[in-house]
A and B are shown apart, each in its own frame.
Chain A
Amino acid sequence: MITILEEYCVGCALCVPFCPEEAISCYGRVDVSESCTECLTCLEYCPVGALKEPEQLE
């Protein structure tokens, strides 16, 4: 599942429309559901670099 960097996410919701699985919701901050397939589309559209691939966390 995509990881959200809480310190960067502002809750602008601009990633929400780009998820082909409708796995992203946004209520103040972004939340990713289990239907996420890690297609990584949302990463490209995040204006503040708050979404990361899981392995990038290390």
Chain B
Amino acid sequence: MLVIGSGIGGMCAAAYLSHKGYQVLVTEALPRIGGHCSTIEYQGVKCTTGVLGPGLGGPLEELFQEVGAEYNVRPCGTPHYLINGKIIKLPQKGALRTLLSAAAHKSDDVKPVLKAFAKEMSSAESAPTMSLRKWIIQFTSDKGILDLFQTMTAATAIVDIDNISARGFFLFLKKLRGWREWGVCPEGSIALPNALAKVIEKNNGEIWTGSPAMCIHSEENIARGATLYKDGREVKVQATVVISNCGPKRTVDLAGKDNLGGDYVASLEKLTPARAISIHIKSDVPLMDHDHLLIVGARRIIALFQLTTVCPELAPPGTHYLVAAADPVGSLEPSEARREIDLSTEDLRDLLPGFESHAQILMTGCYHGNWPAMFSIAGQAMSQKTPIENLYAVGDGFISDAGMTAMVGAAGSGIEAAKDITMHTEPRM
């Protein structure tokens, strides 16, 4: 079993297969593992490369239990929203009513939205395929309400209300039950791929870092292995199954357009990626009272995460680490990217009273192009199987369950591919 790329999807697949007795090799182009689910130390702060923290319960934690990997995740507090200058704590019951009432400019519009929402949530049938914005506009054009939904979709699924369908949104809510339970890794998100790496190595699997794949080999439309670049030379590796966790475009480059077929390549090119900006902030005082705050109606910032409130270990004693998330709708080409960053920074000055005098921006990352926040937004279900037999593709571009997204979806794609492989291929020791 050869896994190309050590993102959370690839690592979940590799750990599951090695746990079931398969011989596994994971190859990673970068010197560090984890992809977007990783940690880079900068000025003493354990900065995330994307993932803030995993969900509690659900398919990822179940996989960790099954393969015997440590799931060291500390729970976050309940979510709070900042709406029209007021902090709103989500109640256990009636959360949406509370949020809508705080956000709506016209209070009369709350009731019809609530009613329609409840109907969709209790319905066994799928919601319509129209965009979420079109769905909402059937009941209200209140800007406050539209802004609220925008923050909900951006913070949970990195997508705006124009690009997620009502169907995708409600599937997602039914599945995840919103944004309620998640946590932060005290050692940073890299703890998760590291724990899976331990399982793989314990089961005699190997992980090669700094070893990019050059080409995926197939014969008569069956995957046979790959050529990797390790320690300054090319190494040919034979494999019964190849799992690609390096994104749709790179997978096509490695396996070859002709081998995958025009229709399949076209379906990958049609995927809408998720773009985002993450601003990493170090501060010598806490900048907010809560560990995370969802922001409604700001210029660009849709959520603030003060990760050290949950895990003080992430920053040196006496300092605090925050991540501000902006999900811009438009392009992140150079001039637009700078404008998006400026608007986000203006938001930070408005939202965090101590920002100007106590905070330092460590780095500002734009995620798009060949390194997007996700290769595909929620609701664009793609199979992990490819037209080449025994070549699987996993990661956030290949989430087959339209109700899943982000890291849980990426992990799920790896687990699903691995389970499929165990159905038709015997372990070879």
Contacts and interface: CB of A to CB of B under 8 A. Distances in A.
B49 interface: yes
Contacts of B366: 10-13, 28
Interface centre among A8, A14, A16, A27 (most CB of B within 10 A): A14
Interface string B25-60: 000011110010000111100010100000000000
A20 B41 CA distance: 13
Interface in B321-335: 332, 334-335
Interface in A14-33: 14, 16-18, 26-29
B41 A8 contact: no
B364 interface: yes
5 tightest CB-CB pairs across the interface, nearest first?
A: A28-B337, A17-B42, A11-B366, A13-B363, A13-B365
Interface residues of B, number: 28
Interface string B350-385: 000000000000011111111100000000000000
B337 A16 contact: no
Nearest to B368: A10
Interface string A21-58: 00000111100000000000000110110000000000
A26 B42 contact: no
A50 to B, nearest CB: 9
Nearest to A6: B334
B265 interface: no
Contacts of B337: 11, 28-29
Contacts, number: 65
B365 A14 contact: yes
Contacts of B334: 6, 11, 28-29
B341 interface: yes
Interface string B217-253: 0000000000000000000000000000000000000
B42 A47 contact: no
A11 B332 CA distance: 9
**Chain A, interface SS category:** loop
10 contacts: A8-B370, A10-B369, A10-B370, A12-B365, A13-B365, A17-B41, A27-B338, A27-B364, A28-B332, A44-B30
Contact of B40 (A10, A17, A28): A17
Contacts of A14: 40, 49, 365
A17 B30 contact: no
B31 A17 contact: no
A26 B367 CA distance: 13
B427 interface: no
A8 B370 CA distance: 8
Contacts of B332: 10-11, 28
Nearest to A8: B370
A18 B31 CA distance: 11
A30 to B, nearest CB: 10
Given A28-B334, A28-B337, A13 B32 contact: no
B210 interface: yes
Nearest to A29: B334
B283 to A, nearest CB: 18
B338 A28 contact: yes
Contacts of B369: 10, 48
B363 A26 contact: yes
Contact of A45 (B31, B335, B367): B31
Contacts of A47: 29-30, 35, 370-371
B371 A17 contact: no
Given A13-B363, A44-B210, 9 more contacts: A10-B368, A10-B369, A17-B43, A27-B341, A28-B332, A28-B366, A44-B30, A47-B35, A48-B371
Contacts of A29: 334, 337
Contacts of A44: 30-31, 210
A12 B31 contact: no
A18 B47 CA distance: 12
Contacts of A18: 40
Given A11-B332, A28-B338, A28-B341, A48 B370 contact: yes
A12 B35 CA distance: 12
